Chains A and B, each alone.
Chain A
Amino acid sequence: MADRDVVILGAGMHPWGKWGKNFVEYGLVAAQAALADAGVTWEDVDYISGADTIRNGYPGFIAGATFAQALGWKGNRVSSCYAACASGAHAIGIARAQILAGLCDVALVVGADTTPKGFFAPVGGERRDDPDWLRFHLLGATNPTYFALYARRRMEAFGATPNDFARVKVKNARHGLQNPNARYRKEVTVDEVLSSPIVADPLHLLEICATSDGAAALVLCSADYALRRGATGVVRIRAVSTVSPTFPNAVIEMPNFATDSGAAAAAPEKTFRDSIAAAAYDEAGIGPEDLSVAEVYDLSSALELDWYENIGLCKAGEAERLLRDGDTTIGGRIPVNPSGGLACFGEAIPAQAIAQVCELTWQIQGRAAGRQVEGARVGLSINQGLFGHGSSVIVSS
Chain B
Amino acid sequence: MPDVKTRVPAVDGWFSTGAAPALLGTRCTACGTYFFPSEHTFCRNPGCAGREFADVELSRRGRIWSFTDNRYQPPAPYVAPDPFVPYTIAAVELATEQLVVLGQMVAGVDTASLRAGQEVELVLGTLYEDDEHEYLVWKWQPVGDAG
Inter-chain contact total with CB atoms closer than 8 Å: 142
Check A261 against B116 for contact (C-beta < 8 Å). no
In this complex, the interface size class of chain B, counting residues with CB under 8 Å from chain A, is: 35 or more
Check A141 against B75 for contact (C-beta < 8 Å). no
Check B75 against A142 for contact (C-beta < 8 Å). yes
Residue interface mask A247-271, B partner, CB < 8 A = 1: 1101110000111111111000000
B125 to chain A, nearest CB (A): 12
CB contact list, B70-92 vs A, under 8 A: 70-80, 87, 89, 91
Partner of A264, one of B31, B37, B77, B96: B31
Q: Does A321 sit at the interface, judged by CB under 8 A?
A: no
Closest to A133 in B: B77
Stretch at the interface among A117-125, A162-170, A286-294: A117-125
CB contact list, A136-162 vs B, under 8 A: 136-142, 145, 148-153, 156-157
20 contacts between A and B (CB under 8 A): A118-B75, A134-B11, A135-B102, A137-B77, A139-B103, A141-B74, A142-B75, A145-B68, A145-B89, A150-B66, A197-B71, A199-B71, A247-B46, A248-B45, A250-B98, A261-B99, A263-B33, A264-B28, A264-B32, A265-B31
What chain B residues lie within 8 Å of A262 (beta carbons)? 98-99
Q: Does B132 sit at the interface, judged by CB under 8 A?
A: no
Check A139 against B99 for contact (C-beta < 8 Å). no
Check A257 against B36 for contact (C-beta < 8 Å). yes
Interface size on A, residues (CB 8 A): 46
Residue interface mask B89-109, A partner, CB < 8 A = 1: 101000011111111100000
What chain B residues lie within 8 Å of A119 (beta carbons)? 72, 74-75
What chain A residues lie within 8 Å of B77 (beta carbons)? 122, 126, 133, 136-137
Check B127 against A261 for contact (C-beta < 8 Å). no
Which residues on A are within 8 Å of B, measured CB to CB?
118-119, 121-122, 126, 128, 133-142, 145, 148-153, 156-157, 197-203, 247-248, 250-252, 257-265
Q: Does B7 sit at the interface, judged by CB under 8 A?
A: no
What chain A residues lie within 8 Å of B37 (beta carbons)? 257-258
Cα–Cα, bound, A170→B71 (Å): 23
Check B36 against A258 for contact (C-beta < 8 Å). yes
Closest to B32 in A: A264
